[in-house]
Amino acid sequence: MISLSGEMPKPWVLNPFIQSYTELTSQKVDRKSLKQIGNGRFISAYEDQKLVGIAFCTGDVEWENEVSLSVLILPSYRKRGIESAMLRLLRGKQSAYSRTVG
């Protein structure tokens, strides 16, 4: 089971992940379509305490017209619905800040 968290992983967890991720999504989104996203919002996905994906928002929501949402995920986890769940959390369309994905 995949667990989503709003905390940034520790560097010793994040660095090995970054060496093997697959970038699934990088979307430009009009800031008006986002609900209270906040700068630097970050979502981490874990399975059995192993980091399997991250999603984050870049750009200044208050000053820029477009904000970039990115999801990076390990290749073996692409088809498990993690990407869409992370993007829903980032966009504020999901109220729970910590969630479990099947």
User: Which pLDDT value is given to residue 18?
Assistant: 77
The size of the chain, in residues, is: 102
CA–CA separation, 45 and 101 (whole Å): 9
Q: pLDDT category, 22, cuts 50, 70, 90?
A: low
Domain membership flag for residue 28:
yes
What is the average pLDDT across 38-57? 78
What SS3 class is residue 88? helix
Q: How many domains does the chain have?
A: 1
HSE (side-chain half, CA atoms, 13 Å) at 23:
6
User: Which pLDDT value is given to residue 96?
Assistant: 43
Which residue segment(s) compose the domain that 47 sits in? 2-94
Domain membership flag for residue 102:
no
Question: Does 13 or 27 have the greater pLDDT score?
Answer: 13
CA–CA separation, 60 and 57 (whole Å): 9
CATH number at residue 81: 3.40.630.30
Q: pLDDT category, 77, cuts 50, 70, 90?
A: confident
Tokens encoding 29: 């989104």
Q: pLDDT category, 7, cuts 50, 70, 90?
A: confident
